[in-house]
Structure 1
Amino acid sequence: MSFHVGCRRRQVADATQGVALPLTLLYPTSAPVSPHRFGPYPLELAMDAPVTGTNLPLVLFSHGNGSTPLTHRGLAKHLARSGFVVALVEHVGNTRGDNRLAGTAANLQNRPRHVSLALDAAFADPDLGAAIAPGRAGLIGESLGGYTVLAAAGGKPWCGPQESPDGKPQPIAVTADPRVHALVLFSPATPWYLPEGSLANVTVPILMRTGDRDDITPAWHGDLVHRDIDRTRIDHRIVANAGHFSFQTPFPDEMVRPDFPPSQDPPGFDRAGYQTVLLADVERFLRKNICCDGDDGSASF
């Protein structure tokens, strides 16, 4: 069953950081769509349309360093069309337009809290909350977003001396969110979990995709996930010829250029073609692990 994509935009207060986090919610709707632009990205959406369905599974995206969740807009729209509510949160201080906190312990502490605040807002949303299956969510994280969702699922990270205010490694104070029931990791950045056992408390199922030509988060980043977590809970594939950004949605033609690395792949890698495989894998994994309505684990429409 396929739907149109509804969209509502929110602001979520983070009292600790003293900012409002932009949050975009995508969801299934039967209302007609029209063209909209979110920055450089054209999207067909039904703005503020009524939601279709009940007991819908919730998925949240955590974007990479200095990025935006819209780099995975193709996957987000696919999930919404397939009956998921999708939360796209912007990590203020570490986005494409505002990256002043990059490389700081504060950023590492803020990001997992942003995830929980965005989940709070989605579950309590006056227009969508009643349609969302209560008490559970899946998280998708790319690169530094992988660090973020692992922390939200129970990881215990440490910052390095270059990030610490006093120049000494120290634990990062994060709080696990019990609503996290599954993780999807794309090219995860994990050096904050170097101490043995840092990920031992992460017990949820994980789908992980890494590229064999990733020179930003090479193989040892994924190896840290395997070190501490039961391998039977991890669906990991190393994608041949894929680079660090190869799991993102293909960019509009005018953005594809050599001086914009996220738009580039190793020679011969077909990003657009691989999206079909990736979207199907992620949807299947999330349906198995976070859908919860009835005997078949599906939402109701």
Structure 2
Amino acid sequence: MEHFVGYRELQVTDPELNLTFPLRVLYPSPTPSRAESVGPYTLDVAREAPISPGGFRLVLVSHGTGGSGLVYRNLAHHLARHGFVVGLPEHPHNNRDDDSWAHTPQNLRARPRHLQLCIDALLQQFPSSLKPSAVGLIGHSMGGYTALALAGGQPTATPRDTPDWQNRPIPVPHDERVKALVLLAPATPWFMAEGALRAVRVPILLMEAEKDEHTTHFHTQVVLNGVPDQQRLTHRVVPNAGHFAFLSPFPAARVSAAFPPSQDPPGFDRLQFHEEMNAEVLAFLTQELDVD
């Protein structure tokens, strides 16, 4: 069953760090949608519409370093049309407008915590419409780190992340409500310590870009070697794809060699790939989050 897509913009508060950050939400709605400006993009949504009746599964999308949740807007919209509530947080101080926490232990600590706060916020926003034990996480690049950490990973800051160039354990929350992960070209060097991913026992769909210039096969191998149950991991390499292949296709006016996220290796069709990826992610999450 397909739905119209509702849209809301929330503010999530982190009292520990005394900050708030935006959380965009797409969800099934009975209200007919129309083309609306959402940030710099256009989406077919119904602003502030009621949510459809039913018990829906919750998915959060964690963006890459210096990124934005809206660059995964088409995947989020596709999932919402098919019965998911999808949250797109903007990670504080690690987004396109403010990347001041990049390569810091603070960022490694805060990102998983902020996903957990988003889960709490959305369960409060839709208290009778969500299945609290059916949460999925989608993470691209640094978002892959974030998803693995909240699902049970034990990260260690690398020398690059610390002022004194020492490895240091990073305390992060783990959330048992998370039941499935979709990792898109994940960044993983913080999970190289022995046993760092031993507690990650949820099903994983892991997509690797064949021509990734940022998170190479080494990053994928950390996951493949680290999770305890290979039977719960589906891994595939996307032929001819670069690191940014997982971002929604950009409007023509933004496609330029001067804007690397809009670029792909010669011959790669991002639009066609996203039709395949959206269907694959939907099928995976529908199966793995099929809980009562």
TM bracket (short chain): over 0.9
> TM-score, normalised on structure 1?
0.95
Distance (whole Å) between structure 2 residues aligned to residue 199 and residue 157 of structure 1: 9
Q: Is 2:3 the partner of 1:3?
A: yes
Shift of 1:17: 2.0
* Counterpart for residue 208 of structure 1: 206
* Offset from partner CA, 1:64-110 (integer Å, 9 cap, x none): 00000111100000000001000111101000011111111100110
Q: Is 2:228 the partner of 1:260?
A: no
Q: Is 2:62 the partner of 1:91?
A: no
Shift of 1:38: 2.2
Map 1:266-281 → 2, pairs under 5 A: 266-281=265-280
Distance (whole Å) between structure 1 residues aligned to residue 152 and residue 123 of structure 2: 20
Map 1:114-125 → 2, pairs under 5 A: 114-125=114-125
Shift of 1:195: 1.3
* Counterpart for residue 163 of structure 1: 161
Map 1:116-265 → 2, pairs under 5 A: 116-125=116-125, 128-229=126-227, 230-265=229-264
> TM-score, normalised on structure 2?
0.97
Instruction: Report the aligned-residue RMSD.
Output: 1.0
* Counterpart for residue 49 of structure 2: 49
Q: Is 2:81 the partner of 1:78?
A: no
- Quick one: percent identity of the two aligned structures? 46
Q: Is the 8 A contact 1:105 1:165 kept in 2?
A: no
Q: Is the 8 A contact 2:180 2:289 kept in 1?
A: yes
Could you tell me which runs of 5 or more consecutive residues in structure 1 were left unpaired when the two chains were aligned: 294-301
Distance (whole Å) between structure 2 residues aligned to residue 165 and residue 216 of structure 1: 23
Amino acid aligned to 2:75: L
- The alignment partner of 2:160 has SS state of coil
Shift of 1:163: 1.2
- The alignment partner of 2:117 has SS state of helix
Shift of 1:16: 1.9
Amino acid aligned to 2:224: H
- The alignment partner of 2:245 has SS state of coil
Shift of 1:150: 0.1
Distance (whole Å) between structure 2 residues aligned to residue 76 and residue 129 of structure 1: 20
Could you tell me which runs of 5 or more consecutive residues in structure 2 were left unpaired when the two chains were aligned: none
* Offset from partner CA, 1:158-200 (integer Å, 9 cap, x none): 1112211433110011011111000000000001111122111
Shift of 1:11: 0.5
Amino acid aligned to 2:107: N
* Offset from partner CA, 1:266-295 (integer Å, 9 cap, x none): 1001110011110111011001111324xx
* Counterpart for residue 17 of structure 2: 17
- Structure 1 runs (4+) deviating above 3 angstroms are none
